């Protein structure tokens, strides 16, 4: 009798355990279907799917905003500046010496800009500075100032790593997440901004600089594609032309760029297109040339990351193109982000013209979506935590955000 009672007890216990396990499994399945585990947003596939879903949910105005990278005026965030940035839903801001007085002030300004709600999904902004070292150094009196690339190039490659890493750590402390450096142009005509006059020298030192910035925790930018070291004029003020053969550009000038594109994940850096004209490829400046950006950079070199123009207010491109024209042409050519550094009115004219061009069918929705997905993937991957990415997913899933 006792054996029968014991047997019945064991069977009942096993039944209860099995029932509990089944219930747990069912609950797990339901939770997985409606509440994905946070670690899903650490995977490449999950982040790419999220960037695509986010792009689909954004309004056209928000999408074009992600493609705008602008300079502002003043050392504090004024109501006027807030209005300008909000009107364009901008995706990135660059600071210059005009914005930078001392460290605490720059930190506060960057924090204020980053806190703005410029889109419905709390996607962070790219906050950038041109911190190359030497001649091109912002706030020299209160920031780390690396030697010029030319000076570094006289030493050892590890010097390029050390100075770039210190620069990255310093600007990250100031609130920046992106450096518009290093320069990978080959030549000695750029007032000390290049690592040397030969492609192997620039490739060797440039790769170390990229690694140093990457290891500091900031994104970096290789510029000025496909190389402007041979230019005899300054593209900031006038048209610049490089009259060499296609083979020379492919075999020499592109070598440093190709090395970084081949070695680094494409979400860790941007490629900045210069405004130099290369008749061997196209009559248009590189930043406005589909031959250079689509055929050469995308198709031949296989670059899948974000392409940004150099400042569209520079004389090399601003002469001959209106603000309404230049943004459209740059996007049609293959640029993902339009950099406009100085005049708020010009920035808004460019922004509005691109929005209208999409509505009129001059720029395809598919092109815009491809660019925005690249931008959002980079931000989701590098500027946001797992929990922040999951929160964006929850917003999309529950339709708690309505695009305007």
Q: Looking at the annotation, which residues are catalytic?
A: 236, 310
SS3 of residue 238 by DSSP: coil
* Rounded-to-integer distance, Cα 82 and Cα 112, Å: 10
Helical pair 157-173 and 199-216, crossing angle rounded to 10 deg: 30
- Report, in this order, helix, strand and coil percent for the chain, each rounded to 5: 55, 10, 35
Q: Which of 364, 296, 87, 294 is nearest to 372 (CA)?
A: 364
- Residue 267 DSSP code: T
Tell me how many degrees the CA angle 68-70-73 measures, rounded to the nearest 5. 155
Q: Cα separation of 139 and 97, whole Å? A: 6
Cβ–Cβ contacts within 10 Å for residue 241, how many? 15
Q: Which residues contact 277 (CB under 8 A, 6 or more apart)?
A: 239, 240, 241, 242, 283, 284, 285, 286
Say if residue 232 is exposed, middle or buried (CB neighbours under 10 Å; 0-12, 13-18, 19+): exposed
Please say whether the dihedral angle defined by the alpha carbons of residues 81, 142, 215 and 147, taken in this order, is positive or negative: positive
Burial (CB < 10 A; 0-12, 13-18, 19+), residue 287, is: buried
**Tokens read off for 339:** 């950099």
Where would I find the beta strands (DSSP E) of 251-398?
269-273, 306-309, 338-340
Three-state SS string over 362-387 comes to: CCCHHHHHHHHHHHHHHHHHHCCCHH
């Amino acid at each position: 009798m006792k054996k029968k009672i014991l047997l019945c007890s064991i069977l009942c216990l096993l039944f209860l355990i099995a029932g509990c396990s089944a219930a747990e499994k069912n609950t797990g399945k339901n939770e997985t279907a409606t509440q994905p585990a946070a670690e899903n947003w650490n995977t490449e596939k999950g982040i790419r799917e999220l960037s695509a879903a986010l792009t689909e949910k954004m309004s056209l105005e928000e999408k074009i905003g992600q493609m705008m990278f602008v300079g502002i005026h003043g050392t504090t965030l004024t109501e006027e500046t807030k209005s300008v940035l909000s009107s364009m839903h901008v995706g990135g801001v660059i600071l210059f010496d005009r914005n930078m007085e001392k460290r605490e002030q720059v930190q506060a300004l960057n924090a204020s800009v980053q806190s703005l709600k410029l889109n419905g999904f709390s996607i962070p902004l790219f906050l950038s500075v041109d911190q190359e070292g030497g001649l091109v150094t912002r706030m020299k009196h209160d920031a780390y100032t690396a030697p010029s690339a030319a000076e570094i190039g006289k030493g050892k490659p590890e010097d390029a790593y050390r100075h770039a890493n210190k620069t990255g750590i310093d600007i990250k402390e100031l609130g920046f997440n992106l450096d518009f450096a290093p320069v990978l142009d080959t030549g000695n005509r750029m007032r000390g901004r290049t690592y040397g006059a030969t492609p192997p020298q620039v490739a060797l030192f440039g790769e170390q600089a990229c690694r140093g910035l990457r290891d500091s925790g900031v994104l970096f930018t290789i510029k000025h594609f496909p190389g402007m070291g041979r230019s005899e004029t300054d593209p900031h003020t006038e048209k610049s032309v490089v009259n060499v053969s296609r083979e020379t550009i492919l075999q020499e000038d592109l070598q440093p760029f190709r090395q970084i594109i081949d070695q680094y994940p494409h979400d860790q850096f941007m490629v900045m297109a210069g405004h130099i004209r290369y008749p061997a490829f196209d009559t248009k400046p590189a930043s406005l040339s589909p031959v250079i950006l689509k055929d050469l950079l995308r198709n031949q070199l296989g670059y899948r990351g974000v392409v940004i123009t150099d400042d569209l207010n520079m004389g090399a491109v601003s002469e001959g193109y209106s603000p309404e024209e230049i943004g459209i042409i740059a996007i049609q050519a293959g640029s993902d982000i339009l950099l406009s550094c100085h005049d708020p009115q010009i920035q808004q004219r460019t922004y509005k013209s691109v929005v209208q061009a999409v509505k009129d069918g001059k720029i395809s929705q598919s092109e815009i979506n491809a660019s925005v997905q690249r931008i959002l993937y980079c931000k989701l991957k590098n500027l946001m935590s797992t929990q922040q990415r999951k929160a964006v997913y929850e917003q999309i899933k529950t339709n708690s955000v309505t695009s305007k």
